[in-house]
A and B are shown apart, each in its own frame.
Chain A
Amino acid sequence: MLKMTHLSKVYRTEVVETYALRDFNIDVKEGEFVAVTGPSGSGKTTFLTIAGLLETFTGGEYHLDGVEVSHLNDNARSKIRNEKIGFIFQAFNLIPDLNVFDNVEVPLRYRGMKSAERKKRIMESLERVGLASRAKHYPAELSGGQQQRVAIARALAGSPRLLLADEPTGNLDTQMARSVLELLEEIHREGATIVMVTHDPELAARAQRNVHVIDGQVVDLAEDPRFHAHVAQVAEATHGR
């Protein structure tokens, strides 16, 4: 489904070159549920934005659903984002000017779907996240957990094959986080491929597979000394409290 080989991403400013990703290799199979963990600044978000075709990369190869994406133009990339990928962001990213119904409708309109079909899908996915009764509400009138569930409904409405979530529970309390995760697991059981970036080891543990990123690289946890250093650091920090 998603295969990156020797992929690199460099951010250049006038003074520095930052390697956000270097020699990054990952292969996510169709139907997998992968959790991506790693310290802050290690390149998790960068990986996800490239995976979701929100950004281009500097070197290497990226095959999405068997297609090498570096040659696609902006319109083709928009079309893939619209049809194959669902996004869930840490900051929910609902459009504040639109009510819940209209928010979920956004990707469907860009797909050029007929009105009746749109309405059916919107109500289905809102029911799924338990918010059908809030269709006329504006994002500001909802709690964080509800907003994130609307965002999930928006990602689901287009029936994407790949769901990309960047710390989807980062802004939620534990209980809401759990309900969001249950929703993702349910979606996964129905066949979607899910890649979720998370800080939370408890959530990561519930995924089928964990991928750890350090300094822009995927590392094998058992062998990499940097991982042990990281664990020690976290342990120290926890003790320190």
Chain B
Amino acid sequence: MQIKPILSALRQHKAGTVLIAMQIALTLAIVCNALFIIQQRLAHLSEPSGIDETHLFVVENQWVGKPSPDQLDAQIRADLSALRQLSSVQDASVSNSYPLHGGGWDDGLKLKPDQANATTEAAIYFADEHMLATLGLKLIAGRNFRADEIGHMGIRDALAPPVIVITKALAEKLFPSVDGHANAALGKTVYLMSNRTTIIGIVDQLQSQSVARWAADFAHRSVLVPLRLVSPQGTYYLIQAKPGQLDAAMHAAEPTLLAQSRKRVISDKDGLLSFAEVRAHAYDSDYGMAVLMGIVCVVLLAITAAGIVGLTSFWVGQRRRQIGVRRALGATRRDILSYFMTENLLISSGGALLGVLLAVTMNLWLVIRFEMQHLSLLYVFIGVAILLLLGQCAVLAPAMRAAQVSPVEATRTV
């Protein structure tokens, strides 16, 4: 086509060309990386927890006074039984923590007692026989705890459950099987803090307590221990409401507990949380970052588009006479339109080329400085496509105005 003469004409307009190409390059570099960050954050926050969250809520209970471990355990059992009797409640259980909570216990698991390093870390969840039903966990092998297996444990006691239920992800890590069946772990013996225990059940999925980076290594490797934690702090009642009765159950929970005993504190601020609130809180920084990056992208793209519209409009005004001359020499309106579209495509492509290098460089810096992952080329391609398309859209209006310049324009004496 007419690429060569367009390029040589552009050489006479270096300043504008270079400026807009640089703007495109910079925008591309930032947009690629921002899109990549957005995608990563969205992927992170859409990770499934493995639990049935819709009608689930949490009561954080702190105990007042100095009850003995046995008293506390009796109180917890009484509380649970009262909660389960509520008409709006499906089931209830108690633990030291829950997925997305932000903090909790994790411990190393070993295959042999004298093993120097643990095979893996895993999140530790205290549970009773109602936990699977309360969280809606799917048992894929073995069995749930029996009521007579549930013991209680003080905060300073050794964690030594005789049996445990673990997640599929953990089972596969501990006992990798050739055919990918988690069942290989069932009935096996492992060591939890050097205490021997037997795997009696495997659940499909249960996310660990934190979505932060420190917990990323064992994100879905969790252990359920058949214990009630008797400690002044850190008693979390997990309550599964009946479908459509979450509000009713959440309203009923606190009075029910207070009716059992007033020697407790349930904070007004975050003592009672629906799981939706838990999830929002756990991911608010991811969500905030994604939104921020989105805004950065939109603003930069808008500025770049405005730059292209501005420069092209200026050039069209400046070149009215030569457009008229071209028309007089036989250019059709389409030829004029395509001249400006092609010109923009050339500038944008140059800018995009530079931008790809810049994007990769910027990503390398982010990798080193912020431990970000390496930019997938897909996002570079998406970025290039967006900017080329944006350029063509931005140039369309001024280019159509150029195409409307009449050939008589050539005869107007200056």
Contact = CB atoms under 8 A, between A and B. Distances in A.
Contacts of A102: 5, 8-9
Contacts of B330: 78-79, 81-83, 107, 110-111, 158
B329 A99 contact: no
Contacts of B334: 75
Given A98-B5, A98-B8, A102-B8, A81 B329 contact: yes
A65 interface: no
Contact of A78 (B5, B331, B414): B331
A48 B411 contact: yes
A105 B330 CA distance: 12
A21 to B, nearest CB: 14
Contact of A107 (B2, B321, B329): B329
Among B328, B406, B407, the one with the most A-chain Cβ atoms within 10 Å of its Cβ is B328
B10 to A, nearest CB: 8
A81 B325 CA distance: 11
Nearest to A154: B329
B333 interface: yes
Contacts of A110: 326, 329-332, 335
A97 interface: yes
Among A49, A75, A78, the one with the most B-chain Cβ atoms within 10 Å of its Cβ is A78
B322 A97 contact: yes
Interface size class of A (residues with CB under 8 A): 20 to 34
B328 A81 contact: yes
A166 B136 CA distance: 89
B411 A78 contact: no
Contacts of B410: 54, 87, 89, 93
Contacts of B329: 81-82, 87, 106-107, 110, 154
A141 interface: no
A55 interface: yes
A38 interface: no
Contacts of A97: 8-9, 12-13, 322
B408 interface: yes
B8 A99 contact: yes
A79 B332 CA distance: 8
A15 B414 CA distance: 24
Nearest to B407: A54
A166 B329 CA distance: 15
Interface string A61-74: 00000000000001
B327 A166 contact: no
Contacts of A111: 330
Interface string A138-169: 00000000000000001000100000001000
Nearest to B412: A91
Interface string A32-62: 0000000000000100110011110000000
Given A45-B411, A81-B330, 20 more contacts: A49-B408, A49-B411, A52-B328, A54-B407, A55-B408, A75-B332, A78-B327, A78-B331, A78-B335, A81-B329, A87-B410, A90-B413, A93-B325, A95-B9, A97-B12, A102-B5, A102-B9, A106-B329, A110-B330, A158-B330
CB-CB nearest 3 A-B residue pairs: A82-B330, A97-B9, A107-B329
